[in-house]
Structures are given as C-alpha cells and as structure tokens.
C-alpha cells in the first residue's frame, strides 16, 4: 500500500513524521470528548499508532529494538529521575488526574482495568517507538543536515542535541525530567550508534512509571 509513495522526494520524512503526527493529533483530541472519552480516544490512538508503525516498519530501517545493559540502566534511571524530582521544581500549572479509569468507573469495573492495561501497553510498546524515531532519529539528524539519512546515528552536534532535548522536555508536563530524559536517551543513541537501545530504555521507563502510577495511585503522571 505504501510502496506507491516511495518515489516521493520526501518519503523518508513522511514515514518518520506522519505516524508521530497522527498520534499527537489524537492525543490533543483526548480532552474534547468528556472524561470517559479520553479512555476511548487513547485506545483508538494506540490501535491507529500500532497500525501505522506496522505499515512503515520496512521503510524505517533504524526502527529496531535492541537490549543492552546500558538500555536497562538508562530506562531505570530515567524512571527514578521522573518520580524522584516530582515536586522539586516549578510546574507550569496544576496537574489533575486526567486519566484515571478507576475514578470514573470504580475500582471493581473490568472496563477500568482494561483501559489501564491499554495505557500501560501503549506507553510501553508504542510510544517509545514513535517518539524515538521522530525525536532521536529524524529530528536530531535533520537539524544537523536536511539530508538526514546520510548522518550516522552516533554523530554528535551540540545545537541539535540541545534543541531536541529542550523540545522533548517541554512537550511534557514534567518538563525538567523530560529534558534530562531526552539527554540520556539521545546520549544512548550516540554511544551505541543505533536507535534500538533508546527504544528499549524508553519502554522500560514507561512500563515502570505505569506500574508506579497504578500501585501508588499517582495518576497525575498520566
């Protein structure tokens, strides 16, 4: 299906931008359909995002999972930073439990736990792929040179590094740990010369954060 678009001059850009852009657009729509609508939209965007990743998988060569001791350490470290810095830096506003199915449906409702499972799986298996491909592979290298495919993933450029880390951090409510998180993930990509370790680290971080949110009722992180 996607093969007919391969001749387009911006095809390498499209396969790395479109899945992320669609996911972000659906994220922005989550708050537009009431309290419970957010859960259904999250489920929809997870399914759509997974389908888009499947469609472009053969055309984004760096989109491969890799496991290393560095990726595990990085993933755990970012989780500890994310949780440990909570309340220790100024926020842009008050946080609310905008994604708390147990509050909406009740702790005994099966649908509430289904939505929680979808959230944890989506944030652990899909979000890392979409965000790492867009930020750490595409945007970082594109800021170095528009013909980004010719830039090795292990290349280091101060301007691109700082811009991407700041952009990634400020796209999250938890902006300070977000910036530190981006520095660690991007550093991992540069160190290993591949994207897969950062995808794994990101997945570990989000999975641990999901468990923390549910076990500690810390839904403000979602």
C-alpha 92: how far from chain center: 21
**8 A C-beta contact, residue 185 and residue 71:** no
Based on the structure, what is the number of domains in the chain?
A: 1
The tens digit of pLDDT for each residue in 142-190 reads 999 999 999 999 999 999 999 999 999 999 999 999 999 999 999 999 9
Instruction: Write out the residue range of the structural domain in which residue 137 sits.
Output: 62-221
Within-domain flag for 44? no
Within-domain flag for 196? yes
Residue 91 to residue 11: CA distance in whole angstroms: 38
Within-domain flag for 121? yes
At residue 31 the predicted structure's pLDDT band, cuts being 50, 70 and 90, is confident
**pLDDT on residue 140:** 98
**8 A C-beta contact, residue 85 and residue 176:** yes
The tens digit of pLDDT for each residue in 38-76 reads 999 999 999 999 999 999 999 999 999 999 999 999 999
Within-domain flag for 192? yes
Within-domain flag for 160? yes
Within-domain flag for 211? yes
Mean per-residue pLDDT over the chain, rounded: 94
**pLDDT on residue 1:** 61
> Which residues, 6+ apart, have CB-to-CB distance to 199 below 8 Å?
63, 64, 65, 66, 128, 129, 132
Within-domain flag for 56? no
């Amino acid at each position: 299906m996607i093969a007919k678009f391969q001749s387009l001059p911006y095809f390498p850009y499209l396969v790395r931008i479109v899945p992320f852009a669609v996911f972000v657009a659906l994220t922005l729509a989550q708050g537009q359909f009431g309290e419970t609508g957010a859960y259904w939209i999250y489920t929809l965007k997870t399914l759509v995002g997974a389908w888009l990743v499947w469609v472009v998988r053969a055309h984004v060569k760096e989109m491969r999972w890799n496991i290393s001791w560095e990726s595990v350490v990085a993933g755990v470290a970012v989780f500890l930073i994310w949780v440990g810095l909570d309340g220790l830096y100024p926020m842009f506003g008050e946080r609310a439990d905008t994604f708390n199915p147990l509050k909406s449906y009740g702790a005994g409702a099966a649908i509430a736990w289904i939505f929680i499972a979808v959230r944890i799986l989506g944030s652990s298996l899909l979000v890392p792929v979409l965000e790492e491909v867009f930020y750490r592979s595409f945007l970082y290298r594109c800021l170095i040179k528009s013909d980004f495919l010719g830039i090795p993933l292990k290349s280091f450029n101060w301007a691109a590094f700082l811009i991407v880390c700041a952009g990634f951090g400020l796209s999250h409510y938890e902006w300070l740990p977000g910036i530190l998180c981006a520095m660690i993930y991007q550093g991992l990509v540069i160190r290993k010369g591949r994207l897969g370790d950062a995808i794994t680290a990101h997945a570990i971080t989000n999975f641990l954060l999901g468990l923390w949110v549910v076990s500690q009722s810390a839904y403000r992180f979602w």
